[in-house]
Structure 1
Amino acid sequence: MAQELVQLQPGTQVERWTIDKKLGEGGFGAVYKVTDPTGSYALKVEGVNEQIQVLKMEVFVLTELAKKCGRHFCKIEDKGRFGSFNYVVMTLVGKSLQDLRKEGPGQHMSMGTAISCGIQCLESLEDLHGIGYLHRDVKPGNYTIGRIELNEQRKVYILDFGMCRKFTNDQGVIRKPRAAAGFRGTVRYAPISCHMQRELCRKDDVETWIYMCVELTTGNLPWKNVQDMNAVGDYKRRCRAEPFIKELFGGCPREYVEILQYVDSLKYYDAPNYQMCYGLMRKAITSMNAQEFPYDWEKGPGGF
Structure 2
Amino acid sequence: MARLIDFTLQCKILEESDKPFSAETAKLVSDELNQALLDLHKRGSSSSSLRSRTPIARISESFEPLATSSSRISSIMDVAVDTVICRVMFVFYTNGIQYTKCSLETSQAATLKEMLRAISAKARRPAQLCRVFSCDKLWGKRKEIDLHETGKKRLMEIPSTKPNRLNFIVDYVNKFPFIPIRFSPLEWSSMSEEEEDVHFPAGHVIEGGHGKYVIEKLLGEGGFGAVYKVYDQSDKTKLYAMKVEKKKEERKDSKLKMEIAILKLVANERKDSHFTSIVDRGKKDTYFFLVMQLVGKSLADLKNKRPDKVFSLPTGLGVSCQCLEAVEDLHKHGFIHRDLKPANYACGLADKKRVVYILDFGIARKYVNKDNVLKTPREKARFKGTVKFASLACHRNIELSPKDDCESWYYLMLDRITQREAVMQCKEDCRRGEKRAKLFDGLKSAEMELGKIMDYIDSQQYYSKVDYTFIYELLKVACTNAGASLDDKYDWEKDD
Normalization by structure 2: what TM-score? 0.56
2:315 to 113, 116, 126: 113
CA distance in 2, matches of 1:85, 1:136: 25
Residues 197 and 83 of structure 1: is their aligned pair in 2 closer, same or farther, counting only changes over 3 Å?
same
Q: Secondary structure at the match of 1:176?
A: coil
Please name the residue that 1:5 is paired with. Answer: 197
Alignment of 1:260 onto 2:454: yes
Partner AA of 1:143 in structure 2:
Y
Per the TM alignment, residue 267 of structure 1 is displaced from its structure 2 partner at its CA by 1.2
2:223 to 15, 23, 27: 27
Alignment of 1:213 onto 2:401: no
Alignment of 1:295 onto 2:487: no
Aligned positions of 1:1-304 closer than 5 A: 4-15=196-207, 16-36=212-232, 37=235, 39-49=238-248, 51=250, 53-66=254-267, 68-69=269-270, 71-147=273-349, 150-224=350-424, 232=425, 235-252=426-443, 253-254=446-447, 255-292=449-486, 293-300=488-495, 303=496
Normalization by structure 1: what TM-score? 0.91
Q: Secondary structure at the match of 1:42?
A: strand
CA distance in 1, matches of 2:268, 2:346: 22
8 Å Cα contact 2:476/2:485 also seen in 1: no
Please name the residue that 2:93 is paired with. Answer: none
| Mean Cα deviation higher: 285-294 or 163-172 | 285-294
Cα deviation code 1:58-84 (max 9, x no counterpart): 111111112545820001111101231
8 Å Cα contact 2:224/2:362 also seen in 1: no
CA distance in 1, matches of 2:195, 2:374: 35
8 Å Cα contact 1:46/1:55 also seen in 2: yes
Q: Percent same amino acid among aligned pairs?
A: 42
8 Å Cα contact 1:3/1:49 also seen in 2: no
5+ residue gaps, structure 2: 1-57, 59-193
8 Å Cα contact 2:374/2:463 also seen in 1: yes
Partner AA of 1:267 in structure 2:
Q
Per the TM alignment, residue 20 of structure 1 is displaced from its structure 2 partner at its CA by 1.0
CA distance in 2, matches of 1:109, 1:120: 15
CA RMSD of aligned residues (A): 1.7
8 Å Cα contact 1:222/1:247 also seen in 2: no
| Mean Cα deviation higher: 150-159 or 249-258 | 249-258
Residues 50 and 23 of structure 1: is their aligned pair in 2 closer, same or farther, counting only changes over 3 Å?
farther
8 Å Cα contact 2:196/2:225 also seen in 1: no
CA distance in 1, matches of 2:195, 2:402: 33
CA distance in 2, matches of 1:179, 1:297: 44
Cα deviation code 1:63-119 (max 9, x no counterpart): 111254582000111110123110000110000001111111210001110000000
5+ residue gaps, structure 1: 225-231
| Mean Cα deviation higher: 252-261 or 172-181 | 252-261
CA distance in 2, matches of 1:64, 1:51: 27
Larger RCO, structures 1/2 (Cα 8 Å, 6+ apart): 1
Cα deviation code 1:197-222 (max 9, x no counterpart): 10011111111111111110113331
Partner AA of 1:185 in structure 2:
G
Residues 213 and 223 of structure 1: is their aligned pair in 2 closer, same or farther, counting only changes over 3 Å?
closer
Q: Secondary structure at the match of 1:106?
A: coil
Per the TM alignment, residue 175 of structure 1 is displaced from its structure 2 partner at its CA by 0.3
CA distance in 2, matches of 1:101, 1:25: 20
Larger Rg over CA atoms = 2
Per the TM alignment, residue 27 of structure 1 is displaced from its structure 2 partner at its CA by 2.3
Per the TM alignment, residue 249 of structure 1 is displaced from its structure 2 partner at its CA by 2.4
